Amino acid sequence: MKSMHISTTINGDPVEFICDPGEPLLDVLRNRLGLTGAKEGCGTGDCGACSVTVNGRLVCSCLVLGAEVEGVEISTIEGMANDDQLHPLQRAFIDGAAFQCGVCTPGILVAAKALLEKNASPSDEEVRFWLAGNLCRCTGYDKIIAAVQVAAAEMRGA
Amino acid sequence: MDTGQSKREFRYVGTRPNRPDGVDKVTGRAQYGADMTAPGMLTGAILRSPHAHARIISIDTTAAEAIAGVRAVITGKDFVRLDDEFTRDVQENCMAREAALYDGHAVAAVAATTPVIAKAALAAIKVEYETLPHVTDVDAAMKIDAPVVLAGRALETVPAGMSQNVTNACEFGHGDLDAGFAKADLVIERSFKTAATHQGYIEPHACLASVTTDGKADLWCCTQGQFFVRTLCSDIMGMEASQLRVTASEIGGGFGGKTTVFIEPVALALSRKSGRPVKIVMTRDEVFRATGPTVSSSMDIRIGMTKDGRITAGEATLRYSGGAYPCGTVEMGAQAAFAAYDLEAVRTYGLNALTNRPKEAAYRAPGAPQAIYAVESIVDELCQKLSLDPLAVRLQNAAKKGTLSSYGPTFNDIGLVATLEAATNHPHYNAPLGPNQGRGLSCGFWFNFGGNTCVSLNINTDGTVGVTEGNPDIGGSRASISLMAAEELGIPYESIRTIIADTNSLGYNDVTDGSRVTFSVGLATIKAARDAIGKMTSRAAQYWGIDADAVKWVDGSAVPAGSNAGKFPPLTLAEIAAMSPQTGGPIAGHHEVNVDGAGVSFGVHLVDVEVDPETGFTKVLRYTVFQDAGKAVQPDYVEGQMQGGAVQGIGWALNEEYIYGEDGRLQNPGFLDYRIPVSSDLPNIETVILEIPNPGHPYGVRGVGETPIVPPLAAIANAVSRATGVRLTELPMSPPRILKAMKG
């Protein structure tokens, strides 16, 4: 089948690309656009390492087709910091040692940001259930939950 | 013992600064294995056996080669058969030669201009197999009439008359077992089984290989040890080490599973054949089917105890299977099984049997969790039946300084008693429990390793410092290395940048394993800093016109050693660095060593669970880890090791297992069906760090990474037993298994 030509917006920038009709958005981001912050941990929507938002909705980019994103707004980890200012979640993750290898971190940050946009004051339980689709094998999640709460408190105060 | 260690005041070590790679990792900038590209790069892909055991009669690649965009196709015949058995096993595990030995074993590979073409090319390769009988269970594999996975591979230590699948045998211990058991008031003997589990790193294996026509090669890969990758790949490819430069990417988890090669020789061979860079990235399915799992195990344990809690004798027979190739992991299990106890009579026997499963790769304290799970389950049952406090019994029998260990050496300073006392005094131990709830505990142990280590430390002319080390940073080690350099040099942590060298930039470093990095690289960094300090004090002496030994280093400056040396104002590191071009040139410190003196590590885990009597589901309610770190260099990352290891152990205890069908194929090669713990499964993991200095390290550091995966298996099993009143003897303790046990 012929490649498709797609126009979309990623992290506020206008972007055009061509892709195969069956090509996952994750592969487009990583292999065609050089946005390698989203990771492929499974390719089946089980690990959350490829999390991005499409029109504000949290998705696994391995389960979205590149062909589906015509005219939408996509946010990835590369767009989370505001120019040279890290997002409070990013700072909290560094300050709180909330990652070890860091490969799940982009997905977890994108997912946590989506949570705090819906719920500014989540309980620990709510954070744990929201992030249940993001696998981390290094940390045991403890410091991740704590860091999300630190960032949430800071964002409420701001 | 250096008794001064425990009194040492640290300025930087023990603080919690941000890690140097933090910003890269929260912004998506950090480059992992799959994130690298090269001009003209091809996509490599691997064809894998659908059979558990099959002879490869023929492989026809002509149709695949004819597809436009396919630039190379290789099979096992593209690799030279090696004489060295160890390396040959590694090579044949990367690409089968005469036979496929497990579901997922690589049999051919392609390199093509796009992933779509590569996939089509794999489908066009015709492999003719003759399927052979298979065996995936360790006990079945040990039967004399079992299908033979590989013939003629038994070591001399294996007793005659066993199945040809039995490759390794070992025995450890001391004392008179019969006399010991005769002194016991109660002897319990049980058999246990544990499933194979996978390391479950979130980053699949990935590499980018580029071989040029003059025989030079560059290899980028996610690995725990770029130097060992170079050794394996240069041996397999018939290259000189100097011509193969291996660069370790950021690594997305390893836990032991990235200490060997799977795809790297394949990518190199495809690149050599095609003349183009080749990138291979595994799918998750490939990761489960063809890399890493632990051994599966079957064990018989017998322990005797007096009415007042003294263990009189312990005996263990461990049968491990490390998959389709010989595996010595059982030797570590047999050594670790009773390490926590001071015993007069102890004996462990270990056997490894081949099965049609993927070749075992190390997983965090390889071999220890299984054996210690079984031993700690029986110790707990003895305590239950004799109505004894399980912590008090462990304290009563604990190994300590001077104990003849169950595996031979006599222990030096160790922290087991301190961790047990900390657990005894912790509020968790006496907190009330509700209905269907139980509290369990277990000791854990790991040897820890040192090994070949090489560090360069460069004094920059602006007074900052670059540390070059050779071990991939798998959990924050660059921070701990920088902290130790800061401590020794007396300059701020922020003035130091630690990087990980490629294989052409530094001498050989052993793999990031054995919990060795903070210990060994830290030790080499401290010694490299002292080397640099020696040079800096010489430069100061030269400047002042006094003897070099009349200068000492205090708080980041050279100062005269005493009033006789002369009166000069201190020269700071920055001042000495700035004038280095005029005083003899650049200043650098080095240290190269095969490190000895890794202090063993003990931990104690305490866990509360609730078991739903309707479903058999186990909820972990509360979890506390107590562990001796020797000296916690960056406590955040020590806690992180304790928490992460505990949760991997929780997964092993409750959920995780390799499930094989009657056809010998892996039935759950994905994260949906191989379920690792998710955040909603877990409570907070509390941590208590003990610091009993290791005499073998200048700051008392011990490795901390592996011990925490050891205790959870038995701690949870013991908690489940106390919650339900039944003793489970097989892992994982999945809801159906618990329900079945409860219904008797």
Using one digit for the tens of pLDDT, what is the confidence trace for B107-140? 999 999 999 999 999 999 999 999 999 999 999 9
Phi, psi dihedral angles at B96 (to 5 degrees):
-65, 155
Could you report the per-residue pLDDT of B481-540, keeping only the tens digit for each? 999 999 999 999 999 999 999 999 999 999 999 999 999 999 999 999 999 999 999 999
| Cβ pair B377, B190 in contact under 8 A | yes
Distance (Å, whole) CA B75 – CA B106: 9
Q: Residue A10: count other Cβ atoms within 10 Å of its Cβ.
A: 21
- What does the pLDDT read at residue B4? 43
> Angle, to 10 degrees, between the axis of helix A105-118 and the axis of helix A142-157?
40
Q: Does pLDDT of A68 surpass 90?
A: yes
- The predicted model gives B398-421 an average pLDDT of 97
| Cβ pair B121, B109 in contact under 8 A | no
Our CA angle for B415, B417, B418, nearest 5°, is 65
Test the B interface: residue of A36, A61, A142, A150 with most B CBs within 10 Å: A142
- Please write down the long-range contacts of A32-36, taking CB distance under 8 Å and 24 or more positions apart: A32/A66, A35/A10, A35/A76, A35/A78, A35/B28, A36/B28, A36/B31, A36/B32, A36/B34, A36/B35
Using the Cβ of A37 and the Cβ atoms of chain B, whether some distance falls under 8 Å is answered with yes
Q: Could you tell me which of B442, B715, B384, B477 has the C-alpha nearest to residue B604? A: B442
By C-alpha distance, the chain A residue nearest B25 is: A102
Q: Does pLDDT of B743 surpass 80?
A: yes
Residue contact B476–A100, C-beta within 8 A: yes
Using the Cβ of A143 and the Cβ atoms of chain B, whether some distance falls under 8 Å is answered with yes
Using the Cβ of A139 and the Cβ atoms of chain B, whether some distance falls under 8 Å is answered with yes
Chain B: give the shortest CA distance to residue A41, in Å: 5
Q: Does pLDDT of B653 surpass 60?
A: yes
- What does the pLDDT read at residue B67? 98
Residue contact B28–A36, C-beta within 8 A: yes
At A41, list the tokens.
């941990």
Q: Could you tell me which of B319, B329, B207 has the C-alpha nearest to residue B256? A: B329
Our CA angle for B296, B302, B308, nearest 5°, is 135
Q: Does pLDDT of B423 surpass 90?
A: yes
Chain B: give the shortest CA distance to residue A21, in Å: 12
User: Which of B251, B676, B680 is facing A128, going by the closest CB pair?
Assistant: B680
Distance (Å, whole) CA B669 – CA B102: 13
Task: Give rounded-to-5 percent helix, strand, coil for chain A.
Answer: 40, 20, 40
User: Which of B16, B203, B475 is facing A41, going by the closest CB pair?
Assistant: B203
| Cβ pair B277, B43 in contact under 8 A | no
- What does the pLDDT read at residue B3? 41
* B565 CB burial (10 A radius; 0-12, 13-18, 19+): middle
Length of chain B: 744
Q: Does pLDDT of B551 surpass 70?
A: yes
User: Which of B22, B252, B670 is facing A103, going by the closest CB pair?
Assistant: B252
Distance (Å, whole) CA B613 – CA B595: 52
At B534, list the tokens.
């020696």
Q: Residue B98: count other Cβ atoms within 10 Å of its Cβ.
A: 11
Task: Tell me the whole-structure pTM to 2 decimals.
Answer: 0.97
DSSP A65: B
Distance (Å, whole) CA B506 – CA B467: 11
- What does the pLDDT read at residue B605? 98
- What does the pLDDT read at residue B2? 43
Test the B interface: residue of A95, A101, A109, A126 with most B CBs within 10 Å: A101
Residue contact A41–B204, C-beta within 8 A: yes
Residue-averaged pLDDT of chain B: 97
Distance (Å, whole) CA B45 – CA B270: 10
Using the Cβ of A110 and the Cβ atoms of chain B, whether some distance falls under 8 Å is answered with no
B402: left (phi over 0), alpha (psi -120 to 50) or beta: left
E-strand stretches of B447-495: 451-459, 465-469
Distance (Å, whole) CA B61 – CA B128: 12
Distance (Å, whole) CA B322 – CA B367: 10
Q: Where are the alpha helices (DSSP H) in B457-521?
A: 477-489
A39 chain-B contacts, CB cut-off 8 A? 32, 34, 202-203, 252
Q: Residue B349: count other Cβ atoms within 10 Å of its Cβ.
A: 17
A143 chain-B contacts, CB cut-off 8 A? 636, 639-640, 643
How many CB pairs (< 8 A) connect A and B? 182
- The predicted model gives B328-347 an average pLDDT of 98
| Cβ pair B555, B574 in contact under 8 A | no
Distance (Å, whole) CA B97 – CA B91: 9
- What does the pLDDT read at residue A158? 67
pLDDT level of residue B150 (50, 70, 90 thresholds): very high
At B408, list the tokens.
């031979």
The percent of residues in chain B predicted with pLDDT above 90, rounded, is 98
Using the Cβ of A156 and the Cβ atoms of chain B, whether some distance falls under 8 Å is answered with no
Distance (Å, whole) CA A35 – CA A26: 9
B34 chain-A contacts, CB cut-off 8 A? 30, 36, 39-40
User: Which of A44, A77, A101 is facing B28, going by the closest CB pair?
Assistant: A77
pLDDT level of residue B7 (50, 70, 90 thresholds): low
Distance (Å, whole) CA B690 – CA B696: 17
Could you report the per-residue pLDDT of B258-303, keeping only the tens digit for each? 999 999 999 999 999 999 999 999 999 999 999 999 999 999 999 9
- What does the pLDDT read at residue B337? 98
Say if residue B265 is preceded by a cis peptide, omega within 30 of 0: no
Q: Which residue ranges form the domains of chain A, and what is each CATH number?
A: 4-77 (3.10.20.30), 88-156 (1.10.150.120)
By C-alpha distance, the chain B residue nearest A129 is: B680
Distance (Å, whole) CA A26 – CA A62: 5
Phi, psi dihedral angles at B286 (to 5 degrees):
-65, -40
Q: Does pLDDT of A1 surpass 90?
A: no
Could you report the per-residue pLDDT of B557-616, keeping only the tens digit for each? 999 998 888 899 999 999 999 999 999 999 999 999 999 999 999 999 999 999 999 999
Q: Provide the terminal-to-terminal Cα distance of chain A, rounded to the nearest Å.
A: 51
Distances (CA, A) of A132 to B348, B436, B678, B683: 41, 25, 5, 13
Radius of gyration over every alpha carbon of chain B, rounded to an integer in angstroms: 27
Q: Does pLDDT of B1 surpass 70?
A: no
Q: Residue B243: count other Cβ atoms within 10 Å of its Cβ.
A: 17
pLDDT level of residue A83 (50, 70, 90 thresholds): confident
- What does the pLDDT read at residue B8? 81
